[in-house]
Amino acid sequence: MLTFTALGPFQAWADGAPLDLGGQRQRAVLARLLVAGGRAVPVHTLIDELWPGEPPAQALSTIQGYVSRLRRALEPGRAPREEAGVLVSAPPGYALRARTEQVDAWHFESLAKSDGPPARVWEAMESALGLWRGPALAEFAELSWAATEAGRLEELRLIAVERRADAGLALGRATALVADLEAHASAYPLREEAWRLLAVALYRMGRQGDALAALRRARAVWRDELGLDLSAGLKRLEADMLAQRLEEPPVAVTDPVVESPVDGPVLRVLVADDQALVRTGLKAMLDSEAGFALAGEAANGEEAIAGVRATRPDVVLLDIQMPRLDGLAAARRILAGERPPKVVMMTTFGSDENLYAALRAGVSGFVLKTSPPEQILAALRAAAAGDALIDPAVTTRLISAFTGRPDPDSPPALAGLPDDRLDVLKLVARGLTNRQIGQTLALPEEEVGLVVKSLLEHLGLFDRAQLVMAAYESGLVTPGGK
């Protein structure tokens, strides 16, 4: 049986034996098709994403050669003129055909999103977490599509950890869960659900004082890291514990993220575009994808600003050119508000000056309106997770045009920063998450987060995308460089 593993070292297997997938870029072709989840990936997308910035002149024939060699590796018994059954032609590109259980990442996602009574959820989450053998797609971390997908899968893994614990509490397994939940809350101190589960587990063991102490720790971390008090849900939990009226674990409540009983946190997206047809297509895309919900829509910049105030979305998908206040001006006003959502700009081509100004204003990145749905959804997930994402077709032109140019509003020079801070900044500019940076530099993820926070403060910035631009502007990182 042919199987594929991406949750750890990337590999294809035939009846348990590893297959020779060739060099790094050839392997990346197969990995990119796996990430597409069976959907076709156009050849021009493969070229742009495998050689971000400067594809070789013979890129098309090189891709065709990679596909041909991969087909021989995956289906060695296929006759020369027989149609491929695994890595198939799907004009204008290619697709990976496999069953869910053949691909560990697909199987993991299916299990992690399954629902049912607590015993069934416990079993499904145990099986899902058992598929992990290390960071997903780590060998392709320098490629933005792989980093984005790895971040999405990691978030799903954390949700699976928390769903397993929630089911375990319902099954009366609090004692067995406390140690794991303590480690989980310490590793991810900004996750509300981690603290809720730990506090409830301690309370159910009869350790009310320790449960309240856990919530005090959460409050201290959130004040130090975010300047915020506990969420409304954790405050209610604390009050219930103090009043000793907690009988069943309450459902965690957060302001910007609503809980779905099946798929966990749902990203609420406000769509703003002056073309009704574009809005209709985007709404259909969000409605058909688990984990997303339409928070509202707007036909111009003023409506977008009003919609943000009324609906408090997680992410705004904002056209850069709109009447009655363009997207750039709207983005600036949205991001200047209290607890602003993330903003992802949409463009068909766009002026380099506008794109550059929007990045400096703090938007989380860009997608092209012509991008396939999975790329737009990946951009929304990346933005919600705090990552910067710029479509490869925009990145090369934009950064090449502005690298090293003087700007009166540019951040202070980086010369005074120590080497360890510059190393982190370089990796941020390459699109790596804090977890991936920690693995690269052998640092705890929490320490990387503190370094990123200190870089933002030192440079007078407030968004990760601005750090990326600062690294390119200063010449610390160059397009296509290391």
Tokens representing 284? Answer: 């259909």
Report, as an integer, the average pLDDT of 387-409. Answer: 45
pLDDT band at 396 (very low <50, low <70, confident <90, very high): very low
Residue 150 near residue 104, CB atoms below 8 Å: no
Tokens representing 127? Answer: 């099986």
pLDDT tens readout for residues 232-285 = 889 989 888 888 777 654 333 333 333 443 344 688 999 999 888 888 888 888
pLDDT tens readout for residues 74-127 = 999 888 788 999 999 988 899 999 999 999 999 999 999 998 999 999 999 999
d(CA 279, CA 338) in angstroms, rounded, equals 26
d(CA 180, CA 176) in angstroms, rounded, equals 8
pLDDT tens readout for residues 119-164 = 999 999 999 999 998 889 989 988 999 999 999 999 999 999 999 9
Average pLDDT, the chain: 82
Residue 392's pLDDT is: 40
pLDDT band at 472 (very low <50, low <70, confident <90, very high): low
d(CA 245, CA 408) in angstroms, rounded, equals 59
Percent of the chain with pLDDT over 70: 83
Asked if residue 205 has pLDDT above 90, the reply is no
For the chain, domains (ranges, CATH) are 1-153 (1.10.10.10), 172-254 (1.25.40.10), 258-402 (3.40.50.2300)
Query: Measured between alpha carbons, how far apart are the two ends of the chain, in Å?
Result: 39
Give the residue from 378, 372, 380, 371 showing the smallest Cα distance to 267: 380
Report, as an integer, the average pLDDT of 340-360. Answer: 69
Report, as an integer, the average pLDDT of 365-387. Answer: 76
pLDDT tens readout for residues 150-203 = 999 999 999 999 999 999 999 888 888 988 899 999 999 999 999 999 999 999
Report H helices in 24-86.
Answer: 24-35, 43-50, 59-74
Residue 246's pLDDT is: 72
Q: How many other C-beta atoms are found inside a 10 Å radius of the C-beta of residue 27?
A: 18
Strand ranges inside 169-305, DSSP E: 258-260, 264-272, 292-298
Provide the sign of the torsion angle of the four alpha carbons 315, 318, 323, 329, taken in this order. positive
Tokens representing 136? Answer: 């997903």
d(CA 436, CA 228) in angstroms, rounded, equals 27
Instruction: Output the pTM of the full model.
Output: 0.53
SS3 148: helix
Question: What one-letter code names the amino acid at 69?
Answer: R
Residue 430's pLDDT is: 67
d(CA 268, CA 4) in angstroms, rounded, equals 32
Composition of the chain by helix, strand, coil, percent to 5: 55, 10, 35
Residue 394 near residue 49, CB atoms below 8 Å: no
Q: How many other C-beta atoms are found inside a 10 Å radius of the C-beta of residue 212?
A: 17
Let me know the angle formed at the C-alpha of 93 by 87 and 94, rounded to the nearest 5 degrees. Answer: 10
